Amino acid sequence: MRARDLGIAVGSGEPGTANAITDVRGVRVGHTTLVAGDDVRTGVTVVFPHDRDPGLEPVFAGAHRLNGNGELTGLEWIRESGQLETPIALTNTHSVGVVRDALVRYAVAQSLGADEEPWSLPVVGETWDGVLNDVNGFHVRAEHVDQAIEAASGGRVPEGAVGGGTGMICHGFKGGIGTASRVLSEGHGGWTVGVLVQANHGARSRLRIEGAPVGRELGPELIPLPGRAPDGSRAGSIIVLVATSAPLLPHQCERLAQRAALGIARTGGAGENSSGDLILAWATGNRGLGGAQPTRDVTMLANGRIDPLFYAVIDATEEAILNALLAAETMTGRGGVTAHRLDPHLLLEVLRRYGVVEG
């Protein structure tokens, strides 16, 4: 189940063929999902930024921090160099190290025989799945990263309780992985923007969809969650990945990443004190940035033409979060805790009352 299956069209832009981050040509996504016994509910997701080895062919990139109680490794080199040189992986908080090491090993294996000693600073993001998952059991292992790499493909992206999103909770409902895309009109360049989220953030009372107070209408959170704010609300974290085919420079990628935070806000996310809300954006419109040549010719989209990309990333982020909520099924995990799905029928009832959808 996805938002558009219910007649919910977020914003006014048009999605790509798969309505996924993979609509940006060359982007590939792979998941390894780990569900076992009563308390293993976790996994890893790997995203390749384009169709070649990013270690040999980096792309321009930029990042934004809405709130920093989280981790997305490798950002200092991205900020320094303005380039993304590795795949990106998403997992749970306590598995960042093993996933990072596995990506280093992958990069080294890809570069064996190169003239220089291979090295890598992989990008690995996390959100906390310790409510449904035995996060301190360290169930994600290197071979699971290898499986996600092997599974990475274009086209349709599985969503919900899959990969790194397996044990995640979003706005008091079952959350996880979600994705969406927008294709700009030819008059605005025809560029594609794709977004993928690992959504594990937000209080139910704040959840809004196309302006309708869905969370408030559907009642209080029932999940006994740690880390609550003084008013009883829950924070949490979200990682947002933004890809575009537009020819952007690093500072423009950073501007694009910043606008994804507005998509988080439109669904009710607030970047609370205990939330880790980290965003990475990259642009594939300039290629051939690697190699030994001393100079590169690059193309830059004029800043005066960038607003349609901003609108696209805001809408795609909001829709990706909603897709994560709708795709995730009810899950019972560690200690018998149950995170319920966002019921599409109840959602439609609320949206009809507020005139968001017809019916």
Instruction: Please give the positions annotated as active site.
Output: 237, 275, 277
Q: How far apart are CA 248 and CA 190, in angstroms?
A: 14
In this structure, the chain runs to a length of 359
Identify which of 287, 233, 254, 270 has the alpha carbon closest to the alpha carbon of residue 56.
287
Neighbours of 57 (CB within 10 A): 18
CB 149: neighbour CB atoms within 10 A?
A: 19
**AA letter at 149:** I
Q: Return the half-sphere exposure (C-beta side, CA atoms, 13 A cut-off) of residue 27.
A: 33
Q: Which residues pair with 62 in a beta bridge?
A: 281
Report d(CA 225, CA 75) in Å as an integer: 30
Q: Which residue has the tokens 């030819």?
A: 186
Q: Which residues, in sequence order, are bridge partners of residue 128?
A: none
End-to-end CA distance of the chain: 18
